[in-house]
Structure 1
Amino acid sequence: MPIPATYDDRPDIGQPSDPTYTPVPWPRTFLSWTGSNGDSIALTGDISGRNSPAGIAITKGPAGLGMPTFDLKVDQLPNMAGGLFRSTRATTRDITIPLIIRGVDRTSLLKMHNRLLRALNPDAGPGWITATEGDGVARHLECYYVSGAEGSETEENASFTWIKMALVLRAMDPYWYSAAERQYDWHLDTGTALPFLSNTTYPGFFPLRISNASFSPGGLVKAANDSSVEAWPTWTVYGPLTSLVLENITTGQAFRLRDNVAVPAGQTLVIDTRPGVKTVQLNDANAWPQMTTDSTLWPLRPGANNLRVTASGVGPTTLIRLHHVPRYLSYAGG
C-alpha cells in the first residue's frame, strides 16, 4: 500500500537549496565508438543534415554506463538465518545504446549504416566506447558487439532515410579507463630521463608526468590513484642496477629481484602487473625465476600510496618508470 506523506516545502525542481551556490554550466556528454579498424564514429552526433549528409544520435534509454554488476560469494549458514559474506567481484558488463541513424537521402543513410556495421564487427576484434563529460575528461571501455544491429523493418524502427537500433555491447573488463596515463620516474639525473611514448592499445592516450624521484634510500614518493578502484602499474626498468626493490609502503607489499640478479646497461626489465597479463621480462625473456619468493605484483590502492624504490649499482642512465591508467566504476568517474 502507498505510504502517506506530506511536505511543508516543495522546492523548485532544478534550483539549488543553497542560495549561495551558483549552478555550473555543463555541456552534454559526448559518446563515440572506435572500431578495431580504427574508425571513430560519433554516437552523439548531428542528424539534422546541416553539417553532414548523415549522422548518428543516441535516443532515450541507454543503460549499463554506470556501476558494473557484482557477484557476491556467500556461504549459507546451517541452522541459522542468512549467510556469511566471502568475497565480491565485478562481472562482465553489458551496455545497451539505442541509436537512430538519419541521412538526407537513402544513399547517405546506407553509407553511414554500413560504416557503423564495419566498425562494430567483433570478428575483427574489440572496439572502444569513449565518453567525454562536460568538463572534458574522457574515459573509455573496451567492448565487443553482441546484438542489436540485425535490422527491423517495422514502421517504428525504419524508414527510407532513417533506421533505429539498440546496440548491445559487452565489456570483458567492466571498468572504465582514463584517457591519460599517470607516470612516475626514479633516476639519478633528471636530464637523462628517456623519452616516453604512450601506449597505443587504446585510442586517445597521452602521457602525463606527475613526479620525479631519486634513489635516496629513505625517500618516499606519494603516488595518487584518484579512483575507488585499484590500479595496476607497469614498471619499465632501464639498467644498470642490481638488488631492485619496489615497495608500496601503504599496503606493505613489495617486489624484489634476487640480490645476484643484475639489469645491465642497455637492457630493460618490464614488470606488468595488470590482471590477465602478469609478466616479468628481462629483454623479452621470462624473468619470473629471478623474483624472490615473497614478491608480490602489487596494485595501487584507491587514494594516496607511499612508494619507495631502492637499487644498487645505479648509474647516470638508470631509469625506473612506473605508469598506470586509473580505472573507474562509471563513465563519469567513481
Structure 2
Amino acid sequence: MPIFVRPSGAFPGVINPPPLDPLEVPSLSWTDAQGRMTLLSDWASGWVLQSGVRGLDMPGYDFYTDASPRIDGTALRGLRAQAREVFLPIALFDEDRAAFLARKRSFYRTLNPYLGFGTLTLTEVDGSFRTIEAYYVSGAEGDFGQDSSGLHWQTLGLTFSCPSPYWLGEPVHLEYGSGATGSFFPLLPVVVRDSQVLGATVIDNPGDASAFSVWTIHGPATSVVISNDTTGLRFSVTAPLSASDTLVVDTRERVQTAVLNGTTNWWPNLASDSDLWGLRPGLNNVSLTLVGTNSNTQVQLDYQPCFLTA
C-alpha cells in the first residue's frame, strides 16, 4: 500500500484515510463546457493532485521521411505535432459518505464528453496561466479496491485528450486607428489622411508556434488589406464597410470565417488570393491599408500565443 503523506492541516475525518502522495505543483483546474470549474490541487477543499502527472510538457511528433537507393540515411520531408493526452492522478475526499458522494457525482457530471470541450488551466504562483482545450477520455469508470477507495475518498487516474498540441497563453488584445483606446499599440504610426489609414508595426509573438488571430474591423472602409510582411502573406476585403458595419475575420485553423455584423457570411468578399495567415513565433512586420476611412475606423487584433509546454 502507498504511504499516506499528508500536507499540513487536519484531514477531514480520520477513519480509513486515502493513501495520498501529494504533488508539489502550481494550481491545476478543470473547467467544463458549461463553465463549472474544479480546482484539482486544493487540499483544503478535498482535492489532491498526486505524483504521476503526464502530458504537461512537449507534445509528440510525426516525422515524414523518404529513403533513396544507394544513399545512406533518410530525407526529412515534413513533420507534424500530434494531439496530446494529459494524465492526472487525483484523490477526492470529504468528511462523510453523503458529502463525498455528492462531491464525486457533481464532479463526474463535468466530465461528460457529450457536453463538448472543456479546459485544463495551469496557473503559476505569479498568477500567469496557460490553458488547453480537452475532453475526458477515461479513468473514472470506478475502481473500488483497498488502495483506491474508501467510504469517503477515492483515487482516480483521469485521461484527457487534447486535439491541439499547444498550450495557450494569456489573450493579447491590440487596437489600431486614430481614435483607438485601451491597448493601443504605440509603435504603429496609424494616421487618417486622404481617406486612407496606413500603418506598419512590429508584433512580437512570444509563443513557440504560429498564433492565428481574430481581426475585428469597424467601418467605414471601402477596402481593407492586412499583410504580414515577414511571411509575405496577406488577406484583402474587397467589399465596402459602412460606418455601422463590423467585420470579424477569424483566421484560426479549423475555424476560418468572415462574418459581417455577427450574422452575414462575408467570405465571398475576401479576395481570391487571400491567405488567413498567422503570427509566426518572434517578430512580425505587419501592415494595415484601409481606404475610404474616417476617424471612427478601427482595427482590433486578438490572439493567444501557443506554447509547447504548460
Measure, in 2, the Cα distance between the counterparts of 1:169 and 1:271: 31
Provide the residue aligned with 2:18 in structure 1. Answer: none
How is 1:1-334 mapped onto 2 (pairs within 5 angstroms)? 28-46=25-43, 51-52=44-45, 55-178=46-169, 180-190=170-180, 209=183, 211=185, 213=188, 214-215=190-191, 219-258=199-238, 261-283=239-261, 284-331=263-310
Measure, in 2, the Cα distance between the counterparts of 1:38 and 1:68: 26
The verdict on how the C-alpha distance between 1:64 and 1:143 changes in structure 2, with shifts beyond 3 A counting, is same
Give the Å deviation of 1:120. 0.8
Q: TM-score, normalised by structure 2?
A: 0.85
Measure, in 1, the Cα distance between the counterparts of 2:287 and 2:118: 37
**Contact 1:215–1:311 (CA<8 Å) still a contact in 2?**
no
**Contact 1:33–1:130 (CA<8 Å) still a contact in 2?**
yes
Give the Å deviation of 1:240. 0.6
Specify the SS of the correspondent of 2:183: strand
Provide the residue aligned with 1:200 in structure 2. Answer: none
Specify the SS of the correspondent of 2:105: helix
Amino acid aligned to 1:209: S
Measure, in 1, the Cα distance between the counterparts of 2:222 and 2:57: 45
**Contact 1:28–1:134 (CA<8 Å) still a contact in 2?**
no
Deviations 1:217-270 (A, max 9, x none): 664212121111110011111111123110112212111233xx2111101211
Root-mean-square deviation over aligned CA pairs: 1.9
Measure, in 2, the Cα distance between the counterparts of 1:240 and 1:306: 25
Amino acid aligned to 1:241: A
Measure, in 1, the Cα distance between the counterparts of 2:145 and 2:151: 12
Deviations 1:120-145 (A, max 9, x none): 11111121111001222111111110
Give the Å deviation of 1:28. 4.3
Specify the SS of the correspondent of 1:289: helix
**Contact 2:198–2:288 (CA<8 Å) still a contact in 1?**
no
Specify the SS of the correspondent of 2:100: helix
Provide the residue aligned with 1:4 in structure 2. Answer: none
Percent of aligned pairs sharing the same letter? 34
Give the Å deviation of 1:330. 0.9
Deviations 1:293-320 (A, max 9, x none): 3321110011111211111110122111
Q: TM-score, normalised by structure 1?
A: 0.79
Extract unaligned runs of 5+ from structure 2. Answer: 1-23
Measure, in 1, the Cα distance between the counterparts of 2:299 and 2:139: 47
Measure, in 1, the Cα distance between the counterparts of 2:247 and 2:208: 29
Deviations 1:127-169 (A, max 9, x none): 1111001222111111110000011111111112211110010
**Contact 1:176–1:327 (CA<8 Å) still a contact in 2?**
yes
Measure, in 1, the Cα distance between the counterparts of 2:151 and 2:280: 53
Give the Å deviation of 1:210. 5.6
Deviations 1:76-115 (A, max 9, x none): 3234332211111111111110011122221222122112
The verdict on how the C-alpha distance between 1:319 and 1:224 changes in structure 2, with shifts beyond 3 A counting, is same
The verdict on how the C-alpha distance between 1:265 and 1:210 changes in structure 2, with shifts beyond 3 A counting, is closer
Extract unaligned runs of 5+ from structure 1. Answer: 1-26, 194-207
Measure, in 2, the Cα distance between the counterparts of 1:288 and 1:144: 31
Provide the residue aligned with 2:20 in structure 1. Answer: none
Provide the residue aligned with 1:202 in structure 2. Answer: none
**Contact 2:118–2:135 (CA<8 Å) still a contact in 1?**
yes
Specify the SS of the correspondent of 2:158: strand
**Contact 1:56–1:99 (CA<8 Å) still a contact in 2?**
yes
Measure, in 1, the Cα distance between the counterparts of 2:64 and 2:184: 38
Measure, in 1, the Cα distance between the counterparts of 2:57 and 2:147: 28
Measure, in 2, the Cα distance between the counterparts of 1:139 and 1:123: 24
Measure, in 2, the Cα distance between the counterparts of 1:104 and 1:273: 49
The verdict on how the C-alpha distance between 1:149 and 1:140 changes in structure 2, with shifts beyond 3 A counting, is same
Measure, in 2, the Cα distance between the counterparts of 1:189 and 1:36: 36
Measure, in 1, the Cα distance between the counterparts of 2:184 and 2:242: 27
**Paired residues, what number?**
280
Measure, in 1, the Cα distance between the counterparts of 2:97 and 2:183: 49
Amino acid aligned to 2:161: R
